[in-house]
Every structure is written in structure tokens, then in C-alpha cells.
Chains A and B, each alone.
Chain A
Amino acid sequence: MTTSDLYVVLDAEDRVSYVSAGLQDELGRWVGHVLWDHLPGAREVYGPCFDAARASGETVAQLVYYSGRVKRLTAIPAQDGLAVHFERLATLDVTTLGTLAESLERIAEALGAPEPVRHDSRARASLRALP
């Protein structure tokens, strides 16, 4: 699954207005709901990235950890909302102390990974037209 398969579009109040096909099973039922109502404690983690993208009008990418996963968030502002792409980089594995230690290493490594190249600005013309 590519980055483009995993994204949501938020309105100005962080209400989910669109969920991409790749996230339908997980988040499809969130359409019309405020994102934070489903993600306790996430506003402090994701919010700064969203705010920076909206304030600057530019694409902003940020590495974040939330709920056992390191993700690369890419927030792309446009007239019809804020498209937020999720790329999952590492997952917490609490099965045993061994898997926990290994996954913590992967998480630390992922959080230290360099930022990717910014998205093609042409993609901002219409968020729903993204592949």
C-alpha cells in the first residue's frame, strides 16, 4: 500500500469529510465525525502538523508516534480541506519482552529517519483527485 492509498480529508474543524479507499475499513465510519473524538490524546500529536500546514498554506510532513505506531504525516492544504496522508513506518510489538525491545529500536530508528521530499504541489489542486 502506498502513501497515496492512506489519507483522509479534514474540514476546517477537523471533521473527517473523506476517507481514501485504503483506509475505508478502518476509518470509513468516521466520515462526518471530528477526528479527535476517535483519537484520545492525538490532538497534541497531530495538531501541530495540521496547524502548520493550514497556517502556511504549504505541505507539511512530520514524523509522529501515536497508539503504537510511528507514522509519517503529510498534511496538504487545499480549498476543499486538509488532506492528511499516513505512511506507517514502525509498529510497537508487545508480544514478548524480546519483540518489545526490537520494536522500540525500530520506533527509535523510524523517529530519527529523515523527512521525505515534499509532495508535488500540483496534487494540491484537488485533494479528492489524488490517486
Chain B
Amino acid sequence: MAVTVQQSPSVVLDADYRIVEVGPSAEGGFGPLAGKNLWECFPGSESLFRPYYDKARRTGAVEEFVQFYNGYVTRVRAEPRGDDLAVWWDKLHVIDGLTLTSLEDSIARTIAVIDDEHSSALRLQARGSLRLIAGGA
């Protein structure tokens, strides 16, 4: 399943990963962070997101992936725009740690969402491979 692409990206990052634009959907959390370095604002996130962002910049192609950070399972779309990178995200699930019951349910849901997304990615990959095989046959 693809990320819902709204008119404005959630954020736009410059070549140094500074937040240069914040869309309406992310204004609440990211608005005050405009101009700051993304990785400094979100400790521990660089190793999770940067490889995908770097790949999008390197290849010039859109990268879509699912990642867990700060209690959220998020589907992310990164689109290179010149030196900048436009990023959209959909929140798929958030950990609910209020009680042991809600935490257990939430962990199970997190695993299911991640598994489902990985399965979807594998299915898409398999379909792509089949198309290539069919095209080459």
C-alpha cells in the first residue's frame, strides 16, 4: 500500500538534513523545528531513516518504506527534489503503553503491521520480478 500523497509533503529536508519546509499535516510536531537538523531533533532516528533517504538522493527515485520510531509504526515516502528531499508519512500504529493489556495488544499489532508491510513489500517485489521474467520470456 502506498503512502497517501497529500498536496504538501510532511516535511522538506535540504542536503544537510535541515528541515526547510513543514506541511500542514506535520505543523504541530515539526513547525517549531524548522531550520533545525532532523537528526539532532530526533535522537536515534538517523540510522533508521537516513539509509533510505540517502538511497533516494543517490538514485533519484522515490523510496517507500515502513519504520518504527518513537512508538510509531510509520509508512514513509521520500522523493528527491533537486538537492532537497520531500518526505510524506502515514502513521500506521502507535504503541499504547498505558496498561499491560493495552501494551500487549499494541505490541502484537505493531508486529502484525510490520509483518504485513514486509509481506506487501515482498509481494510487490515478487510481482515486479514476475513481470521482468514475463517480459524477458
Contacts and interface: CB of A to CB of B under 8 A. Distances in A.
Contacts of A41: 98-99, 102
Given A65-B103, A104-B107, A94 B98 contact: no
Contacts of B97: 67-68, 92, 94
A94 B70 CA distance: 5
A99 to B, nearest CB: 8
A40 B95 contact: no
Interface size range of chain A in the complex: 10 to 19
Interface string B65-97: 000111100000000000000000000000101
Contact of A96 (B44, B98, B99, B102): B44
A65 B95 contact: no
Contacts, number: 36
Given A96-B69, A104-B107, A45 B99 contact: yes
A66 B103 CA distance: 10
B70 A92 contact: no
Interface string A67-105: 110000000000000000000000010111101100010
Interface size range of chain B in the complex: 10 to 19
Contacts of B44: 95-96, 99
A6 B98 CA distance: 20
B100 interface: yes
Contacts of B68: 96-97, 100
Contacts of B71: 94
A94 B95 contact: yes
B48 interface: yes
A65 B70 contact: no
A44 B43 CA distance: 35
Interface of A: 40-41, 44-45, 65-68, 92, 94-97, 99-100, 104
In the A-B complex, the 3 residue pairs with the smallest Cβ-Cβ separation, listed nearest first, are A94-B71, A68-B97, A65-B100
Given A41-B98, A104-B107, 13 more contacts: A40-B98, A41-B102, A44-B99, A65-B99, A65-B100, A66-B98, A66-B99, A67-B98, A92-B95, A94-B70, A94-B71, A94-B95, A95-B43
